[in-house]
């Protein structure tokens, strides 16, 4: 798999090239609303979200959340009862707070959706109606971009807006993708390879390309982005559906329990304390309204956290799956290593000095514009004080370019013929000229390979004959901090597997240095697919990254397939996530975001259910203490009166929703630890906190109500 962690800049462009992003560095593209949770109490944010919250009071919308639908029905019932008895201030107060409970729940979802809509508006501004130059045989015809069909060929030149998603089939061009990625540096798109995909709405800056359209109008990448970030395409995930079923079941159980209280109250002579308004208030307080109100907002916020990091999840299922991933497949090049091998050492053979090797290596690399070639020149200059020479200084020199057939490069100058390249090729070149190969050359090359490096032999043919001078040690540099990141993943219970096309010796050395758990060397697309299936057969969820057409089958097979935006259309269609920054290391962050989503949902569910226990102690004693004075012992909070107890519980039930919205949007902070330790931690914080908070909150509200309404 070829992964492009840096954006290829157009040499004719005046835009400053961007550098490869570090996996912890913030991306250039940020959500317009800033930090999650920070904008909740922003008056502007609330003003924009309140109309949406009120529109969500439509029963056809509310019924999608069974818990909040019951609260809505209860609000309507208490409203009717309050209208029938206009002088009942208690009934009107309960009714007002029940309606506020519903509105606060809708407001949480509306605020979460509002963040996505803000970014969707930005994307809509980037989407323009274009006129396409469609090829019809040898001629061009101008048609609206909306009139293009899959398979059409269109021509784009400098200054043109690309009319639809497709693949470059002819030519190469510099493209401005800032409307999609937020990155100002242009990228190169060319026919063939893994950088052929282009996105509708981006702009061609130079040259001419022919593009084959691969998507229908209205289904382009920008259209899908708009639908995803504003929530229009968000479907409930399996875990979310399962939790909704659990909450609905608990609601039915509490509904049956509350209904049976009326006959008991009549029998006990406490019928006056169990009016329909009181029973409705009891039901609303006992059902899990807190998590019912925040469940949708938690899911939307999880998707939004990915969007902030320039990752598009094509489904909420993918985000959840990321949280349950137990195996990560990581490409070596660009993910674990920097991707460009660097010369780190000149090793001479017996009878030759390192300075001689450095001089020959530098000369043979002057025409080599690859990162490896430039690193040889720099190392010779820095380590051995050799002045950096240029091709123009060597009059009469004949430069030998590297080719896949010869696997060598070099120079013929001043009666010397110098070659640098793969060990087998250089050895064959020397022997063809009747030269000798030092016995220790093979030993040095093998030692470098076993250490994870790449050996390049340097040879010369002069008046002393052809001979090998030494070996250049090219080292694939592991990124800083990768060992620590893999140690964190190991503590999370996640197995890491490095995938590489290198030979097993080199792969093992890099794997040991980086600290991954396992590796797959000389990997083919079939090998990747077989590895994923083996892991899945063992009950594990697998995540991987890819960018090429040959990665598409494995991306489709993986539970979490992250396609690079620089990759082919086939890869992006096969994956269920797209990284707009094309930074493979981001897969680790995606897993952490998925785990944060699951932990947040579990923590707030625990808090919500624990809340109900405390509210039970507030309301039940208040209802029956008149008929059964001994129940007053359960009034451990010492609430002032039955009316004050019930009203305090209803007020707390509404306020706790709005108080927890920032946590739902920001997410519970994730720390790498074992599942058992995490469970104990969350039970201690959110379980125990869910028990204690209502006792304190309801008592505080009761004191406030009693002081405001004397005699209550």
- The SS3 call for residue 637 is coil
CA-nearest of 514, 517, 481, 56 to 297 is 56
Q: Is 176 annotated as a binding residue?
A: no
Q: Is 492 annotated as a binding residue?
A: no
The DSSP bridge partners found for residue 23 are none
**What Å distances lie between residue 515 and 242, 444, 487, 504, 505, CA to CA?**
37, 25, 7, 16, 15
Q: Is 464 annotated as a binding residue?
A: no
* CA 210 – CA 644 distance, rounded (Å): 74
What residues have CB less than 8 Å from 223, skipping those under 6 apart? 127
Q: Is 368 annotated as a binding residue?
A: yes
105, 68 Cβ separation under 8 angstroms:
yes
Q: Is 403 annotated as a binding residue?
A: yes
Q: Is 402 annotated as a binding residue?
A: yes
**What Å distances lie between residue 314 and 307, 477, 577, CA to CA?**
11, 33, 6
| Beta strand pairing call for 398-400 and 153-157 | unpaired
Q: Is 423 annotated as a binding residue?
A: no
302, 597 Cβ separation under 8 angstroms:
yes
152 is known as an active-site residue: no
Q: Is 280 annotated as a binding residue?
A: no
Q: Is 409 annotated as a binding residue?
A: yes
Q: Which two tokens stand for residue 425?
A: 């090729």
Q: Is 406 annotated as a binding residue?
A: yes
**What Å distances lie between residue 332 and 47, 245, 269, 335, CA to CA?**
48, 43, 76, 6
DSSP states of 376-400 as a string? HHHHHHHHH------GGGSTT-EEE
Strands, E assignment, 59-165:
131-136, 139-144, 153-157
- The SS3 call for residue 445 is helix
Q: Which two tokens stand for residue 443?
A: 């030993």
Q: Is 369 annotated as a binding residue?
A: no
Q: Is 372 annotated as a binding residue?
A: yes
**What Å distances lie between residue 396 and 388, 399, 412, 414, 635, CA to CA?**
18, 10, 9, 8, 101
* CA 478 – CA 15 distance, rounded (Å): 29
| Beta strand pairing call for 495-499 and 465-475 | unpaired
607, 694 Cβ separation under 8 angstroms:
no
Name the burial class of residue 374, with classes exposed (0-12), middle (13-18) and buried (19+) by CB atoms within 10 angstroms of its CB. Answer: middle
The DSSP bridge partners found for residue 188 are 174
- How many CA atoms are closer than 13 Å to the CA of 141, on its beta-carbon side? 10
**What Å distances lie between residue 70 and 99, 279, 419, CA to CA?**
12, 13, 81
Q: Is 181 annotated as a binding residue?
A: no
Catalytic residue among 4, 10, 304, 331: 331
Active site residues: 331
Specify binding-site residues.
368, 372, 402-409, 420, 547, 551
Specify binding-site residues for ATP.
368, 372, 402-409, 420
Specify binding-site residues for Mg(2+).
547, 551
């Amino acid at each position: 798999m070829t992964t492009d962690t840096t954006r290829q800049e157009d040499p004719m462009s005046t835009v400053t090239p961007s550098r490869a992003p570090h996996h912890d560095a913030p991306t250039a593209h940020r959500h317009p609303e800033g930090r999650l949770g920070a904008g909740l109490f922003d008056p502007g944010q609330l003003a924009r979200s309140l109309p949406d919250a009120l529109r969500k009071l439509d029963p056809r919308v509310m019924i999608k959340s069974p818990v909040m639908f019951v609260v809505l029905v209860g609000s309507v019932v208490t409203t009717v009862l309050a209208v029938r008895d206009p002088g009942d201030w208690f009934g009107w107060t309960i009714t007002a707070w029940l309606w506020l409970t519903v509105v606060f729940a809708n407001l949480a979802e509306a605020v979460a959706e509002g963040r996505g809509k803000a970014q969707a508006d930005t994307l809509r501004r980037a989407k323009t109606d274009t006129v396409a130059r469609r090829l019809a045989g040898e001629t061009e015809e101008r048609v609206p971009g909306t009139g293009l069909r899959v398979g059409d060929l269109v021509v784009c030149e400098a200054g043109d807006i690309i009319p639809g998603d497709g693949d470059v089939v002819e030519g190469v061009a510099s493209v401005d993708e800032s409307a999609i990625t937020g990155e100002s540096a242009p990228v190169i798109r060319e026919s063939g390879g893994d950088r052929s995909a282009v996105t509708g709405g981006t702009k061609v800056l130079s040259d001419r390309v022919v593009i084959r359209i691969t998507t229908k109008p209205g289904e382009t990448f920008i259209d899908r982005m708009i639908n995803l970030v504003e929530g229009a395409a968000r479907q409930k995930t399996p875990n979310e559906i399962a939790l909704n079923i659990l909450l609905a079941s608990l609601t039915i159980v509490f509904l049956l329990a509350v209904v049976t209280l009326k006959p008991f109250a009549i029998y006990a002579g406490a019928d006056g304390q169990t009016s329909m308004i009181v029973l409705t208030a009891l039901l609303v307080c006992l059902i899990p309204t807190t998590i019912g109100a925040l469940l949708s907002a938690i899911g939307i916020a999880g998707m939004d956290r990915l969007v902030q990091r320039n990752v598009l999840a094509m489904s909420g299922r993918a985000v959840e799956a990321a949280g349950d991933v137990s195996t990560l497949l990581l490409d070596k090049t660009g993910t674990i290593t920097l991707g460009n091998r660097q010369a780190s050492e000149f090793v001479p053979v017996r009878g030759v000095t390192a300075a001689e090797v450095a001089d020959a290596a530098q000369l043979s690399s002057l025409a080599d514009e690859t990162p490896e070639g430039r690193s040889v020149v720099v190392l010779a200059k820095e380590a051995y004080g050799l002045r950096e020479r240029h091709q123009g200084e060597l009059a009469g020199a004949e430069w030998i370019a590297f080719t896949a057939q010869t696997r060598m490069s070099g120079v013929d100058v001043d009666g010397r013929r110098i070659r640098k390249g793969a060990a087998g090729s250089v050895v064959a070149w020397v022997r063809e000229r009747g030269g000798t190969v030092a016995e220790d050359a093979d030993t040095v090359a093998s030692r470098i390979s076993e250490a994870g490096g790449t050996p390049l032999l340097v040879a010369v043919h002069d008046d002393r004959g052809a001979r090998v001078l030494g070996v250049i040690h090219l080292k694939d540099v592991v990124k800083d901090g990768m060992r620590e990141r893999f140690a964190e993943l190991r503590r999370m219970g996640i197995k890491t597997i490095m995938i590489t096309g290198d030979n097993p010796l080199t792969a093992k050395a890099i794997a040991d240095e980086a600290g991954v758990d396992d590796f797959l060397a000389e990997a083919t697309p079939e090998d990747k697919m077989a590895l994923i299936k083996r892991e899945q057969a063992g009950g594990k969820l697998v995540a991987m990254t890819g960018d090429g057409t040959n990665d598409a089958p494995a991306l489709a097979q993986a539970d979490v397939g992250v396609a690079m935006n620089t990759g082919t259309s086939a890869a992006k269609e096969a994956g269920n996530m797209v990284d707009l920054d094309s930074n493979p290391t981001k897969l680790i962050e995606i897993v952490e975001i998925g785990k944060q989503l699951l932990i947040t949902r579990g923590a707030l569910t625990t808090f919500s259910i624990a809340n109900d226990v405390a509210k039970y102690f507030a309301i039940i004693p208040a209802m029956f203490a008149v008929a059964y004075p001994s129940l007053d012992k359960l009034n451990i909070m010492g609430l002032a009166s039955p009316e004050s107890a019930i009203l305090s519980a209803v007020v707390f039930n509404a306020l706790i929703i709005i108080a927890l919205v920032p946590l739902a949007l920001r997410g519970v902070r994730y720390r790498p630890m074992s599942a058992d330790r995490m469970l104990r931690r969350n039970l201690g914080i959110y379980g125990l906190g869910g028990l204690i908070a209502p006792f304190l909150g309801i008592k505080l509200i009761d004191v406030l109500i009693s002081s405001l309404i004397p005699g209550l």
